[in-house]
Structure 1
Amino acid sequence: MTASDSISSRINIVIPLFNDWQAVSLLLERIRSVVAAPIVQRMAFLIVDDCSVTDYETLPTGIGQSLSILRLYRNVGHQKAIALGLSYLADQADPQTTIVMDSDGEDRPEDIERLIQQSVREPGRIVFAHRAKRHESLVFRTSYEIYKRIFQLLTGKVITFGNFSLVPAGLLRKLAHVSSIWNNYPGGVIRSRLPYTAVPLERGRRLAGESKMNFVSLVLHGLSAVSVLIDTTAVRLVLFCALMIGASVIGIGVVMYMKLFTNASVPGWASYLVASFLIVILQAFLISLLLVFMVLAYRTQVQFIPARQYRDFVERVETIY
């Protein structure tokens, strides 16, 4: 049995795209040239056009079973475009194995087989590509490492992967009903508690055009990932505030002891330190109160379920072949 034999008869490829028509054309051609023919023959491509301001001049044909474009009414961003693409496919009569990959070629087509092989070894799990090696600038790589450390500190979870992934057919509809993937796809999978694994893969280089991910975009992406686990983050921050309050109370006790029972004295120092500690206590208390109300509001608000509401964003489905 080959790696592809235990995968569904069709393999959907979801590709979110914003203006990267040249890159996606090169990506499709590269898939045809580097992926094994039996696997390519099972592929059905779905490009999620995130309301691009430009359109394609021509797209390759004859690659896989089909190529369709899911046109959106408005620009919703990369993560939401993925959620809409997955929800559209989950709504089909017979959900199939689905692979999510970027349009720029940084998710290497030759690694598709690695994802499939890992899915064969660990069936029933979403398989992510863990980035073992990246080719971005030093500043970007450093910023990304800082983001991963902050994410772990705030959520207690380790995130070492992006969007490049394989979703087994049996989990596609379950994933489409996870509201958190609307804000951040990998973070939503972590929160959903659906089984997942990761395989180390090298990140490729952009095939055409320039990357739209800059420092601001990275910060927004990081915040969206943390927001998916806001309840866990809030609890950790409340515990930190409690530690600050405890430390401040101890500090006040030490200051009063030194003031009343020792000969150490500097004019005004005791009142200054006590006032500083009281300010820390007040701020920590107010922050904790705000975080509690945020979590309560988050838990009571109506959740957006992509599988139920994706049609509101879809203008039409355009079939190329």
Structure 2
Amino acid sequence: MPDRINVVIPLFNDWLAVGLLLERIRSVVDAPLQNRLAFLIVDDCSAINYDTLPSGIGKSLSILRLYRNVGHQKAIALGLAYLADQTDQYPTIVMDSDGEDRPEDIVQLVQRGIEKPGHVVFAHRAKRHESLTFRVFYTVYKSVFRLLTGKVITFGNFSLIPATQLRKLAHVSEIWNNYPGGVIRSRLPYTAVPLERGRRLAGESKMNFVSLVLHGLSAVSVLIDTTAVRLALFCVMMVVASIFGISVLLYLKFFTSTSIPGWTSYLTFSFLIVILQAFLISLLLVFIVLSYRIQPQFIPARQFNDFVERVERVY
């Protein structure tokens, strides 16, 4: 491994938490590895600024200031694009600022990266500490994601990107919407190591039901082509089932002596409505996919400078 590992930390107002995170890195990460860490905090246009930040932790600490708030996933994409634009390329770790990505697990990501060269290494969440309601909805999200995309997503942002893949990933437009989904869409090799999720060091989590739904939709949107095909196939199945139902009713009415209840006419009409709706949904999906393909894509590596106000070197 090279003598430098970049650490991208997206942040919005969580200065107290990131200060505690850095202190924890100082206390739990062995000096040989700690001295190789170069921290890049991506300030997502925070409404407040830090009072003080710990010093002397790792190789360096810089703050990438953004002109406007773009959200957690886009802040990650901009941080990666900024590092990919540098002359020298190094392995890059992505971790949250709140401490839920445990600093003591950095060594396991690095070790897995050595075992799987060229692979993006994600932290698979083997154990979580959120509320029961959050865990239930998160399980539903993973199930829906698998149903719509055919992919299994059991990881978040905490990951290690090898130096050889950083520039490639920065040219993947899908990381602008969802970083883990973008890695899946990019077809770059990736793996995962089971790690426990930590607890927030300070403040309250900004992830609620609405933000979880939006996060899930952004992940699904990254694989819109696959999702559209699966939904279209579901519509075809509904049409086939409706035609079969109508055929059975017509057969019973005209070719058998079976008494047909009066409500079967309403059932036939309902089947026709299902067929019409399935056709319209399929048509809409076709237009959505065609529109997606002809629209110019945002490439973080090319356009990240439009969002960067300045870079501050703390030490």
Matches within 5 A, 1:1-321: 7-321=1-315
Match of 1:4 in 2: none
Q: CA deviation at 1:242?
A: 0.3
SS of 2:93 mapped into structure 1: strand
- Cα pair 1:259 1:270 within 8 Å, conserved: no
Q: CA deviation at 1:267?
A: 5.0
Gaps of 5+ in 2: none
- Cα pair 1:128 1:197 within 8 Å, conserved: yes
SS of 1:38 mapped into structure 2: helix
Q: Distance in 2 between matches of 1:271 and 1:228?
A: 43
- Cα pair 2:253 2:260 within 8 Å, conserved: no
Q: CA deviation at 1:162?
A: 0.1
SS of 1:209 mapped into structure 2: coil
- Cα pair 2:37 2:58 within 8 Å, conserved: yes
Q: Distance in 1 between matches of 2:175 and 2:142?
A: 18
Q: Distance in 1 between matches of 2:189 and 2:306?
A: 29
Which structure 1 residue ranges, 4+ long, deviate > 6 Å from structure 2?
A: none
For 1:49-87, what per-residue CA distance to the aligned partner results, in whole angstroms no more than 9, with x for missing partners?
Answer: 001111100000111111110000110000000000000
Which deviates more from structure 2 when the two are superposed, residues 224-233 or residues 254-263?
254-263
User: Percentage identity across aligned positions?
Assistant: 78
Q: Distance in 1 between matches of 2:3 and 2:284?
A: 51
Superposition TM-score, scaled by structure 2 size: 0.99
Superposition TM-score, scaled by structure 1 size: 0.97
For 1:255-286, what per-residue CA distance to the aligned partner results, in whole angstroms no more than 9, with x for missing partners?
Answer: 00111123333453232121111100000000
Q: Distance in 1 between matches of 2:264 and 2:94?
A: 61
Q: Distance in 2 between matches of 1:122 and 1:46?
A: 25
SS of 2:312 mapped into structure 1: strand
CA RMSD after TM alignment: 0.8
Aligned residues: 315
SS of 1:76 mapped into structure 2: coil
- Cα pair 1:256 1:270 within 8 Å, conserved: no
